[in-house]
Amino acid sequence: MGLKALRQKKWIKIMTNTYVLVLTIFVIWMAFFDTNSLLIHRELQKEINKLEQKKEFLQKEIEHDKKLLEKLSSKDELEKFAREKYFMKKDGEEIFLIEYEDSLKLKQ
């Protein structure tokens, strides 16, 4: 099978066509070597997905904080929050903290 017989095959004719060669080189270049290659697009899409997840988490936190601020807008709720979270007290009051054995971390 000589060179002439090899050139007569259909797929060789198609592959040696100038337009097909240029198109193949162009596609390979754009897919792997260009500054906007498919690999970079994939990395950027992963980063976009991470940022969207972070955005959703932060929006949920904002909603939670807004509800907390609404709740703390009344004076009684604010006082209750300060007493429970920060152990604040009124003048002349004493606070006793009761800790149970199972809530203490025992050092070994």
- Residues sharing a CB contact under 8 Å with residue 39, sequence separation 6 or more, in sequence order: 31, 32
CA dihedral 55, 60, 66, 69 (to 10 degrees): -120
- pTM for this model (two decimals): 0.54
Of the listed ranges 25-29, 45-49, 98-102, the least confidently predicted one is 98-102
Average pLDDT across the chain, whole number: 83
97-106 residues labelled b (16+ CB within 10 A) or e (exposed): eeeeeeeeee
pLDDT at 108 over 60: no
pLDDT given for residue 19 in this prediction: 85
The alpha carbon torsion through 26, 28, 32, 36 (nearest 10 deg) reads 30
What residue spans of the chain are helical by DSSP H?
A: 3-7, 10-15, 18-28, 38-71, 75-86
* Averaged pLDDT, 53-60: 98
> Over 80: is that where the pLDDT of 25 sits?
yes
- At 68-89, the pLDDT tens digits run 999 888 888 888 888 888 878 8
Mean pLDDT over residues 49-55, rounded? 98
Joined tokens for residue 44: 């950027």
Cβ contacts of residue 79 below 8 Å, gap of 6+?
none
Q: What is the pLDDT of residue 87?
A: 77
Amino acid at 91: D
